[in-house]
Amino acid sequence: MTFADLQSEVARRSTKNQSGSEYTAGIKVAINAALFRICRESPWRVLRRTTTFQTVTSYTTGSGAVTANLNSKAITITGATLLTDKVQIGRRIKFGNSGTFYKIETITGETTLTIDEVYSGANTTTETYEILPQEEYNLPPQVSHRMFMWHEMYGYPFKMNFMTDQDFFRTGIYRTIKYIPVAYRMWGQNDAINQPLQPSAMSVSSTVTADTSIAITIFGIVAGYPDSETINTNASNGTTTATGTKLFSFVERVVKSATTTGRIAVVDGQANSIAVIPTGDTTAGILYAKVQLYPLPNVAKTMNVWYYKDPYRLVGDNDVHELGQEFDEAIILLATSKLKAEADIAEGDKFYVLFTEEIRSLKKTNLDKMDFFPVLRRPYGNRQNDAMITGGLLFRQAGANFGPASRQ
């Protein structure tokens, strides 16, 4: 059933078929609340997904002739192509044989960048460099907390271990270790595919000419403070770029004011894709969860992600939910029970009983046998914990800080 069909049936059963936008709005809210609740109820087979992403290893493009000056944050790397190769801010960089690691704060050109702390070495125009492998990656849109990652970098399927940030940092491990990843963390979620490489004015455009004068509001950080800016798509041609004036160093959220036929793209001043808002009535961008790998990947290989997907909100009348037609009745019953309970608790309870019976029936044929769970491990403890984090690998394969004090 389409969203419009669901609305009509819920209105009929809940006797809220009066005219007026307040009734329509309430029914839409109830249906979406029912959809989200049912998707949280169990690991439904229909929501199981698989995808992949590629790891990014060390970057050393160019002649290696680095220009750096004592007490300066400005760095020049002869022959580098930082913008073309989409090197991310936040990656660590080291110079020569120094044990000091800096973070890339901004990328100001193909061969120029700034670091987060002033350079502490002697003035140089010939130093070598290495930008360490990328630590953070975007997971697919709408990934729920029920997911796991694995790879075949050892020549066989290896399931990575999930660690909380607190456990990860409690170990005191070095985040600069490079090897095949054995663990991952998750922290943060926003609309950004990438962050601006330097404080930059945002530009918006659509993939369709007809999307004119659509207000796109960008939320983020400007000059160190939370801020926002609304940029209207071009008034005569939606595909023509319209550019704002505020310089965003970080983008958190992007929304549009109205339905669009095409996708709305947000790019920074260096033409890097920052965010995309889907077609149709969906007003908000796509949310991406962030995952951090440990150790830093020393090879560019495929990382596999198996997960259960969170549903998108139904917005347009022609939208169809992702659970499939078997779940239509459950959504209708739960939405109706919510609306009935507003006026009469007993009436709402009657429909809720019908809903629970429907869910029980759906679980007999649609419930996925959950064969994975995120497992919290605490490395660097006793031998049992060490064995769990390494997954049977040698301790040196997991990193210098894993394993017992006596590494026999």
Tens of pLDDT, residues 4-28: 999 999 998 887 655 555 678 889 9
Q: Are residues 298 and 181 in the same domain?
A: yes
Burial of 293 (0-12, 13-18, 19+ CB in 10 A): buried
Q: Are residues 153 and 297 in the same domain?
A: yes
- E strands, 270-311, are 273-277, 288-294, 296-297, 302-309
Q: Are residues 146 and 295 in the same domain?
A: yes
Tokens found for residue 367 = 């419930």
Which of the four pLDDT bands, split at 50, 70 and 90, describes residue 173?
Answer: confident
Q: Are residues 176 and 298 in the same domain?
A: yes
The structural domain count of the chain equals: 4
215 backbone φψ class: left, alpha, beta (φ>0; ψ -120 to 50): beta
Does any domain span residue 315? no
The Cα 203–Cα 242 span in angstroms is: 5
Q: Whole-number mean pLDDT of the chain? A: 86
Give the pLDDT score at 20. 54
Q: Are residues 104 and 171 in the same domain?
A: no
The Cα 64–Cα 124 span in angstroms is: 12
Tens of pLDDT, residue by residue over 80-123, are: 999 999 899 999 999 998 889 999 999 999 999 999 999 999 99
- For the stretch 344-375, what's the b/e string if a residue is b when 16 or more beta carbons lie within 10 angstroms of its beta carbon? eeebbeebbebbeebbeebeeebeeeeeeeee
C-alpha distance from residue 156 to each of 56, 150, 151, 152, 153 (Å): 20, 10, 8, 5, 7
Tens of pLDDT, residue by residue over 274-325, are: 999 988 766 667 788 899 999 999 999 999 999 988 888 888 888 899 999 9
Q: Which of 131, 158, 175 is at the close of a domain?
A: 131
The Cα 18–Cα 16 span in angstroms is: 5
Q: Are residues 352 and 379 in the same domain?
A: no
Average pLDDT of span 195-219 = 95
pTM across the whole model = 0.79
More confident residue, 147 or 184: 184
Beta carbons within 8 Å of 365's beta carbon, 6+ residues apart: 326
Which residues share a beta bridge with 297? 179
Average pLDDT of span 258-266 = 91
Give the pLDDT score at 170. 85
Q: Are residues 112 and 234 in the same domain?
A: no
pLDDT at 241 over 60: yes
The Cα 12–Cα 7 span in angstroms is: 9
Give the pLDDT score at 399. 54
Q: Are residues 251 and 265 in the same domain?
A: yes
Tens of pLDDT, residue by residue over 19-60, are: 555 678 889 999 999 999 999 888 899 999 999 999 999 999
Q: Are residues 281 and 295 in the same domain?
A: no
Which of 207, 186, 178 is CA-nearest to residue 91?
Answer: 178
Give the pLDDT score at 387. 42
The two counts, helices (H) then strands (E), for the chain are 7, 23
The Cα 73–Cα 250 span in angstroms is: 20
Task: Name the 3-class secondary structure at 296.
Answer: strand
The Cα 170–Cα 380 span in angstroms is: 9
Q: Are residues 361 and 279 in the same domain?
A: no
Q: Are residues 95 and 124 in the same domain?
A: yes
Q: Domain of 274?
A: 200-286
The Cα 82–Cα 76 span in angstroms is: 11
Q: Are residues 300 and 184 in the same domain?
A: yes
